[in-house]
Chain A
Amino acid sequence: MRWIRKNIIGAIAILVLVYLFIPIAVVIAFSFNKPEGKFNLQWNEFSFNAWTQICGVPGVCQSFLTSVQLGLISTVIATVLGTMIAFALVRYRFRGRSSTNLLIFMPMAAPEVVMGSSLLALFLNLRFPLGTVTVMIAHIMFIISFVVVAVKARLQGMDPKLEEAARDLYAGPAATFRYVTFPLVLPGIIGAALLGFSLSFDDFIISFFNAGTLVTFPIYIWGAAQRGIPPQVNALASLVFISALAIVLGAQLYSWRRRRSLATH
């Protein structure tokens, strides 16, 4: 009885983690399925087909590359803009601070349908053609806020003594920034960029409203859901999932080992 009471929370916690991964297990498993008929919903037969011919279905890889490109460009622009705001918020006093915070908070709190439809309303009224540019504008818009929050947290967590030390050692503002501040904030910026990319890459609702005829990877999946999603899509998504997980776990391991080696020295 006591044992149960002691471990029940741990048991529930593990069950919840398992629950989070059940659909992902299904996605990966069905990349090895050879579906009978159009719909890849029922297990039929094991096959490596989707993996060996990962671009075997027209449009899949095209949409995948579109999403990668969109994600890269949007992320770079949004990361630069967001990092600048984060520096301003942490390092400067200025008027309009609370309205700035509100403007940054609002896109994170607004429902995606509202953001997608309002941007579409803007582009329609301006008669601006829908496509790559409009989707990119939308992605940059919703990534900025997340970058600001992530970089801000990193900047606030930084020990101000490090920069003071640099100044005491006669480093000018530019040198302090280049050799002390920037390297210290960089992991935060990289984290923010990775987050931004994954948000952009997986975004469906906002993109769908503003894409016109452009087909991103999620838009391809949405279209395919009506007529059957080919297992190639599962294979590509599994590939993304596994590589992203590997990157994050690798980074974790790296920082853990570094902390340990610093602790032993």
Chain B
Amino acid sequence: MAPIVPVASVAPVHVSGPKRSSRSVYILLIPGLAWLAVFFLIPLFTLFMTSLQKESASKPGTYVFGIQLSNYANALAEYWPQFLRSFVYAGLATILALAIAYPLAYFIAFKAGNWRSLMLVLVVAPAFASFLLRTYAWKTILADDGVVTSTLNSLHLLPDGRILNTGIAVVAGLTYNFLPFMILPLFASLDRIDYRLIEAGSDLYASPAKVFWRVTWPLSMPGIVAGTLLTFIPAAGDFINAELLGSAKDRMIGNVIQTNFIEFRDYPTASALSFALMAAILILVFGYIRRSGTEDLV
């Protein structure tokens, strides 16, 4: 989807040129910021208010102002498995994506030479093909009579004997779809490492593994933090992969929010779940950033 941004968002902010202070700056700022305030911040507030609404006594099926905190308790009591599953699936996909992305990002940053910009284009390019169609294509690739499934089956690696319509397919889809969001921040971070530091490690007779774990990995931490967040967050809220690749048993919280909002029109429940998801992700993100010590993400 938006692969250029992670690179830039982790770039150091250095001030170029003299800065002016003048009133005209607000003419530049206000239109865009107002748009974000009205159509991003205020909706979050409306979402919160909707999550507390109660059903109208005179007109069932419609909802009126209320402060019904029990909406949260009821929604979470009913849908905690999907909530938990979203975080487990997104967590697994993030770890897999990190393992897959690191070698590629490392190669582009240090070894690609003239091929570097071409390889970066190729990392971004899948986003030009429809997200939904690419996900749908995995249905063909992972089909029960396909090469992948039969190979893994002959090795007795699949507990259910199939991939499609299981959690494995959903995690595989999530890993694939959000991989560029992992690769680009990792690359940006690795690219900023002074390669002489890595060379110094081997000059001092550290084994390649030791150089990696003691020098490269810690220096790429900002990219790891940014990449894992940019993969985890959209994966936790996604409902496309679970819908197209999973079965009813693999539904994630996004599926529940979507059906409750659009099909059942149970706005308070859907809003409560949506707000809870946002809160859970925010808590997780801040805890994670504090632990990994990368505060300059924003």
Contacts and interface: CB of A to CB of B under 8 A. Distances in A.
Contacts of B217: none
B90 to A, nearest CB: 10
A216 to B, nearest CB: 11
A106 B44 CA distance: 11
Nearest to B244: A225
A121 B267 contact: yes
B286 to A, nearest CB: 11
Contact of B47 (A17, A117, A150, A205): A117
B277 A199 contact: no
A61 to B, nearest CB: 15
B89 to A, nearest CB: 14
B157 interface: no
Contact of A118 (B44, B124, B136, B281): B44
Interface string B131-162: 11111111111010000000000000000000
Given A16-B103, A23-B141, A106 B8 contact: no
A111 B174 CA distance: 14
A51 interface: no
A9 B138 contact: no
B101 interface: yes
Contact of A91 (B20, B125, B254): B20
A229 B16 contact: no
B213 interface: no
B43 interface: yes
Nearest to B130: A237
Give chain A's interface secondary structure class.
Answer: helix
Nearest to B32: A81
Contacts of A137: 39
Interface in A72-114: 81-82, 84-85, 87-88, 90-94, 100-114
Contacts of A199: 1-2
A208 interface: yes
A105 B233 CA distance: 13
B136 A225 contact: yes
B198 interface: no
B278 A125 contact: no
Contacts of B37: 103
B138 A240 contact: no
B264 to A, nearest CB: 13
Give chain B's interface secondary structure class.
Answer: helix
Contacts of A125: 46, 49-50
Contact of B111 (A9, A104, A108, A244): A9
B29 A100 contact: yes
Interface in B62-111: 100-101, 103-104, 106-108, 111
A144 B5 contact: no
A153 interface: yes
A82 B32 contact: yes
Given A9-B111, A26-B141, A92 B19 contact: yes
Contact of B117 (A19, A111, A252): A252
A215 interface: no
A91 B259 CA distance: 46
Interface string B30-56: 011101110111111011011000000
A251 to B, nearest CB: 9
A127 B261 CA distance: 15
A208 B36 contact: no
Contact of A113 (B17, B39, B254): B254
Contacts of A148: 32
Contact of A141 (B36, B46, B104): B36
Contacts of B140: 26, 30, 41-42
Given A85-B33, A117-B271, A107 B40 contact: yes
A42 B140 CA distance: 7
Contacts of A93: 19-21
A122 B49 CA distance: 10
B46 A240 contact: no
A222 to B, nearest CB: 6
Most B CB within 10 A of own CB, among A84, A218, A252: A84
Contact of A229 (B121, B136, B138): B136
A240 B244 CA distance: 22
Contacts of B125: 20-21, 241, 244-245, 248
A190 interface: no
B285 interface: yes
A78 to B, nearest CB: 8
B118 interface: yes
10 contacts: A20-B125, A23-B133, A27-B133, A93-B19, A100-B33, A122-B46, A124-B267, A144-B32, A199-B2, A229-B133
Q: Which 8 A-B pairs have the closest CB atoms?
A: A111-B237, A160-B17, A81-B32, A13-B107, A118-B43, A244-B128, A23-B137, A118-B47
Interface of B: 1-2, 4-5, 8-9, 11, 13-22, 25-26, 28-29, 31-33, 35-37, 39-44, 46-47, 49-50, 100-101, 103-104, 106-108, 111-112, 117-119, 121-141, 143, 176, 179-180, 208, 229, 233-234, 236-240, 244, 253-254, 257-258, 261-262, 267, 270-271, 274-275, 277-278, 281, 285, 298
